Amino acid sequence: MKGADPLPPSPEMIGLYLADLASGSGLSPALAVSTIDRRLSGLAWNYAQRGFTLDRKNRHIATVLAGIKRKHGRPPVQKEAILAEDILAMVTTLPFDLRGLRDRAILLLGYAGGLRRSEIVSLDVHKDDTPDSGGWIEILEDGALLTLNAKTDWREVEIGRGSSEQTCPVLALEQWLHFARIDFGPVFVRTSRDGKKALEARLSDKHVARLIKTTVLKSGIRAELPEKDRLSLFSGHSLRAGLASSAEVDER
pLDDT at 82 over 60: yes
Residue type, 229: D
Residues 6+ apart with CB under 8 A from 79: 233, 234, 235, 237, 238, 241
Name the CATH superfamily for 84-245: Intergrase catalytic core (1.10.443.10)
Higher pLDDT, 152 or 26: 152
pLDDT given for residue 171 in this prediction: 96
Extents of the domains making up the chain: 11-72, 84-245
Supply the DSSP string of 46-82, one letter for each residue: HHHHTT----TTSHHHHHHHHHHHHHH--PPPPPPPP
Query: Beta strand pairing status for 135-140 and 123-124?
Result: parallel
Q: Are 159 and 169 in contact (CB under 8 A)?
A: yes
When pLDDT is averaged across residues 72-86 and rounded to a whole number, the result is 67
pLDDT given for residue 244 in this prediction: 42
pTM: 0.66
Residue type, 38: R
Alpha-carbon span 126 to 147, nearest angstrom: 10
When pLDDT is averaged across residues 206-210 and rounded to a whole number, the result is 93
- What is the per-residue pLDDT across 216-232, written as a single tens digit (0 to 9) for each? 889 888 887 778 777 77
Rg (alpha carbons) of the chain, rounded to whole number = 25
How would residue 239 be classed by pLDDT, with cut points 50, 70 and 90? low
Higher pLDDT, 163 or 64: 64
pLDDT at 42 over 80: no
Q: Are 188 and 202 in contact (CB under 8 A)?
A: yes
How would residue 7 be classed by pLDDT, with cut points 50, 70 and 90? low
Chain-wide mean pLDDT for the chain? Answer: 83
- Max mean pLDDT among 13-17, 41-45, 177-181 falls in 177-181
Element (H, E) at 87: helix 84-91
- What is the per-residue pLDDT across 92-142, written as a single tens digit (0 to 9) for each? 999 999 999 999 999 999 988 889 899 999 999 999 899 999 999 999 999
